[in-house]
Chains A and B, each alone.
Chain A
Amino acid sequence: MSDRGILIFAYDGSFDGFLSGVFDSFAMKILPADFVVFDDMEPSLLKIHYVETNFEHAKRVQKGIAGKLGEGVLNMVEKAFLFDGEGKENAILRFIWKAFKEGRSTGGKIGDEEVNRVFKMCTAVNYEAERFRQFTRFSDSKGALVAVIHPKHFVLPLIRHFFCARIKNEHFLIFDAEHGAALIHTPQKTAIVPVENLELPDCGDDSFYSDLWKSYYRHIAIGDRYNPVCRRTHMPKRFWQYLPEVQEELEPGYVPKLTFGTSAQIADSLRSEIKSLLEK
Chain B
Amino acid sequence: MTDLKVSLLGHTLKNPIIPASGTFGFGYEFAEWYDINCLGSISLKGTTLSERYGNPLPRVAECSSGMLNAIGLQNKGVDKVISEEIEKLKAVYSDKVIANVGGHSEEEYISVCEKFDGCDKVFAIELNISCPNVKGGGMAFGVDPTVASNLVAKIKKRVKKPIMVKLSPNVTSISEMAKAVEGAGADAISLINTLVGMRIDIATAKPILATGSGGYSGKGVFPVALKMIYDVKKAVSIPVVGMGGVSSAKDAVEMMMAGATAVMVGTQNLINPYACKEIIETLPAVLNKIKTEKISDIIGRAQ
* A joins B in a complex: no
Please list the residues of chain B having a beta carbon within 8 angstroms of any beta carbon in chain A: none
Please list the residues of chain A having a beta carbon within 8 angstroms of any beta carbon in chain B: none
